[in-house]
Structure 1
């Protein structure tokens, strides 16, 4: 009789030496029956719940080819723990006329298949419940339930009991900076695809080697992806989903759990992204989803991101229609190009438009009145913060005086012979609070705050002068573009003597009101009005640029 040995171990139950141990027991059974060892089939570190095991499949294939006459194993659960699979294995092997003999049960019959198959299935279910219970207990302590999160390192320390700790994590500073950069870039308008491309171009390794759009955006409902991982917000969310094995393919499929089954714990020590940045990303994600789906129909084009600085903001001053690219580098009226309903034939080069707008912005932003307003706003905010700090110090000094009075009273009472054990605990508590108050007071300087740095206005001028450079720099382009586009709602191109007059509409126009002349600011009604738009009209070059202030009653 040619005997085939099958051995298997599962990583969460046994060690690698288990294969050799099983082989030794099976060989002893073979020798006792006078059989001859044919071949050993083994699967290392694979669960018995799956039939997609190389050694197991090779055993079935060789059984069909009559390579052996009997199958020997330590126990029936080594062959499989799935009730359906063990029954199918028994049918196929018996169809070939090959008996199954184990060290634990002897020769296998239909009775063994029914009983052992049921017991193995119950064992797997019980094991899954105990594992889930243990992981939940670990999560409720703020520890990891398994897996590696980008931005955090797994900590392996020796505990007081001599065992290695599990579930501990700490922030990886270098990866945390990349996480913050991803959140900032997305909040400034970059798409996940562009963010991934920039990271790959710079050679920054991702969680799985290279970066992809799905790695960054992920799935919001499942909480996957960098932008959806609440651990970066200091919140550990576990049990969002469960895995169920597909009976046809044998592969695990994720199924969402209801929110009431989620386990949520605060882990502030693992927080990477601040509140404002997290909320900005969530707001943009919500806007993107709302724009993408309406009444079950996808709004094509609404989620398309602007390729250039002012794309999507340009309108024709004649017909009110959109201004689009009519060539690789030129803008023109869409109604004239596509419908012929507008008589505006003028075109303008994209770089010329951007330079003219930015030049006008710089000229207005460098107006002395605007610099003065910036200086005043900075002074007011700085004074407010400095005043609140001084107020906090004064309050702390008053609290410290009351605390020292209580301490003195307790000491006098003890000196007079009045003592109770609770007085010692109270005195220790008061002394600790005294040290805390003294530390707060010492951390606040007695010197009056500097209300304004002498070179602050120069810094402002330098930043405004470098506006064009910042918009051309890839490292700051996303942020600068996002800020400018958020301040403009419309850019009107108005034909004026064969050239375009450019009128800006939006909040930025209100900012430019500070650059208006004193005469205009002192006009009747100017105190209750605000700037609606600013028109930049260029003649022969930027030297003829002038500003037209359009005032509207404040409502």
Structure 2
């Protein structure tokens, strides 16, 4: 048997030799069973709570290609610590006929998945609580809870006992001058966009390489951005927000905490900005926010709702930055416009972009394979509902027989002289129930259900053809737009020969993959004139599909 070894350790603080130690234990198990080592898959410094690990994903891909016959690991928690992911991994391996053997637990069964998965989840929860407690204790001492803020340096000093200090910071004088400059420029009337552009033109490195307007302005409610960081006035604010992992994307999403849970400590030795300059900036920010509100109603440009069909979903194929509206009718690269760090100067008319995407979708959704898939899904759901109706009729018939028996017993008791006032009420209730069940049975048809609507394909074609109309109709526009946006995570605009090629990323691209032959999906060079697959669809929970229009 060909045995694949998987090894992993969680953080960079652990030794890289951990992989070698796990490999040695697994190899001993392989030799003891007379198997042959196929390949070793490893992930270094990656948490088991995430399935987005290169080695783990490569292990799944090779399993689908029958590269090995058995998976060997030191323990089940090395493969994953997430209940959902470990269960999905087990189901995938069982489907491929590949057993999972670990040094700690032996051959993995459903029992191990339930118990060990629960234990791993509890371990992660307990670890998060203890980590949060330790970070809070560090903040209450005026120290950093992690990360580095622009304008400061991390201090690593040797203590008397030989240990290294953690959480200590010192003002970086050169960066502190940039922070003061940003506050002064904004208080004098410059916009964050102009400030960022000036800093980039002067070659001054920002917190993440280049400067952007959002880096400077941030979010005043969450305390993000240079202009909202209270550490610059000697006040350390921690626990403003918490991060929760999205189960669909696997990415962490920030959620604000109530103010009573914030931890605030004064650190006057870290002050960079004087109070008068800070107050001047806060005054201008307040005026700017108030100017965007009329009669208590936020203007359209300030709301979070997307103004157009694909607003906020467009990215530049050159730099990966966002594509924004650069005029009333055109889209362009935000990095090129706001930072000057991208060479992509192409623009595209909003109406043309939307028409290209929608016309391409309509053309591909009308492929016979997708129509067949729609008919299959419709038939399965229809059969399920029809079976449910038939089951309800059977249950009603059974209940009617029980009610009739109870009525007969009551009548027999009354005939024998065992009458009581409560019997009348009970008999009335039973008669009402009998009438209800008889009506339900009479309404149910004895004829077998039609398993497939004869005009189902025509209905599907009509709905697809009306896609653009639905997106323009005010009565259905909001719902149709929401559905389209929920199926697409990103639209990439890739410059090619003076125009844009459009790449769709998300579940909708995975749906369209149903119409592509498997041999075309597996060949990167396979392409067609208007629509091609540039990535193999791995299924739910894996990398999203990408298609080009």
TM (normalized to structure 2)? 0.54
Aligned partners of 2:300 and 2:99: how far apart in 1? 65
Q: Partner of 1:192 in structure 2? A: 192
Q: Does 1:63 align with 2:63?
A: yes
Aligned partners of 2:288 and 2:93: how far apart in 1? 57
**Contact map agreement 1:70 1:99 (CA 8 A) in 2:** yes
Superposed CA deviations along residues 41-81 of structure 1, whole A, max 9, x for unmatched, are: 11111100011111111111111111111100000000000
Aligned partners of 2:219 and 2:55: how far apart in 1? 36
Q: Does 1:213 align with 2:217?
A: no
Aligned partners of 2:270 and 2:19: how far apart in 1? 41
Q: Structure 1 residue runs of 4+, over 3 Å off? A: 295-302
Q: Partner of 1:149 in structure 2? A: 149
Q: Partner of 2:115 in structure 1? A: 115
How many Å apart are 1:294 and its aligned residue? Answer: 2.3
Aligned residues: 302
Aligned partners of 1:294 and 1:141: how far apart in 2? 44
Aligned partners of 2:301 and 2:245: how far apart in 1? 39
Aligned partners of 2:12 and 2:42: how far apart in 1? 17
How many Å apart are 1:295 and its aligned residue? Answer: 3.5
The DSSP-based 3-state class of the residue aligned with 1:104 is coil
Q: Partner of 2:83 in structure 1? A: 83
The DSSP-based 3-state class of the residue aligned with 1:215 is helix
Superposed CA deviations along residues 289-318 of structure 1, whole A, max 9, x for unmatched, are: 01111235456999xxxxxxxxxxxxxxxx
Provide structure 2 residue ranges, at least 5 long, that are not aligned to the other structure.
303-549
Q: Following superposition of structure 1 onto structure 2, how do residues 338-487 of structure 1 map, counting pairs within 5 Å?
A: none
How many Å apart are 1:180 and its aligned residue? Answer: 0.8
Q: Following superposition of structure 1 onto structure 2, how do residues 14-413 of structure 1 map, counting pairs within 5 Å?
A: 14-298=14-298
The DSSP-based 3-state class of the residue aligned with 2:71 is strand
Aligned partners of 1:301 and 1:100: how far apart in 2? 54
Aligned partners of 2:183 and 2:232: how far apart in 1? 10
Aligned partners of 2:244 and 2:12: how far apart in 1? 19
Q: 1:300–1:80: structure 2 CA closer, same or farther, 3 Å change rule?
A: closer
Q: 1:64–1:170: structure 2 CA closer, same or farther, 3 Å change rule?
A: same
User: Which protein has the larger Cα radius of gyration, Structure 1 or Structure 2?
Assistant: 1
Aligned partners of 1:248 and 1:180: how far apart in 2? 41
**Contact map agreement 1:26 1:103 (CA 8 A) in 2:** yes
Q: 1:227–1:118: structure 2 CA closer, same or farther, 3 Å change rule?
A: same
Aligned partners of 1:181 and 1:56: how far apart in 2? 47
Aligned partners of 1:201 and 1:55: how far apart in 2? 41
Aligned partners of 1:297 and 1:200: how far apart in 2? 36
Q: 1:13–1:204: structure 2 CA closer, same or farther, 3 Å change rule?
A: closer
Aligned partners of 1:237 and 1:11: how far apart in 2? 26
Superposed CA deviations along residues 509-540 of structure 1, whole A, max 9, x for unmatched, are: xxxxxxxxxxxxxxxxxxxxxxxxxxxxxxxx
Q: 1:27–1:279: structure 2 CA closer, same or farther, 3 Å change rule?
A: same
TM (normalized to structure 1)? 0.53
Superposed CA deviations along residues 122-180 of structure 1, whole A, max 9, x for unmatched, are: 00000000100000000000000011111111000011121110000011111111111
**Contact map agreement 1:242 1:254 (CA 8 A) in 2:** yes
**Contact map agreement 1:291 1:299 (CA 8 A) in 2:** no
Q: Partner of 1:400 in structure 2? A: none
The DSSP-based 3-state class of the residue aligned with 1:34 is coil
Q: 1:198–1:262: structure 2 CA closer, same or farther, 3 Å change rule?
A: same
The DSSP-based 3-state class of the residue aligned with 1:223 is coil
The DSSP-based 3-state class of the residue aligned with 1:204 is coil
**Contact map agreement 2:144 2:167 (CA 8 A) in 1:** yes
The DSSP-based 3-state class of the residue aligned with 2:5 is strand
The DSSP-based 3-state class of the residue aligned with 2:264 is strand
The DSSP-based 3-state class of the residue aligned with 2:4 is strand
How many Å apart are 1:194 and its aligned residue? Answer: 1.1
**Contact map agreement 2:242 2:254 (CA 8 A) in 1:** yes
Q: Partner of 2:543 in structure 1? A: none
Provide structure 1 residue ranges, at least 5 long, that are not aligned to the other structure.
303-555
**Contact map agreement 1:292 1:300 (CA 8 A) in 2:** no
Aligned partners of 2:6 and 2:168: how far apart in 1? 38
**Contact map agreement 2:12 2:44 (CA 8 A) in 1:** no
Aligned partners of 2:19 and 2:58: how far apart in 1? 17
Q: Following superposition of structure 1 onto structure 2, how do residues 496-515 of structure 1 map, counting pairs within 5 Å?
A: none
Superposed CA deviations along residues 76-105 of structure 1, whole A, max 9, x for unmatched, are: 000000011111111110111111100001
Moved more, 7-16 or 210-219: 7-16
Aligned partners of 2:65 and 2:210: how far apart in 1? 45
**Contact map agreement 1:48 1:82 (CA 8 A) in 2:** yes
**Contact map agreement 2:81 2:117 (CA 8 A) in 1:** yes
Aligned partners of 1:301 and 1:92: how far apart in 2? 46
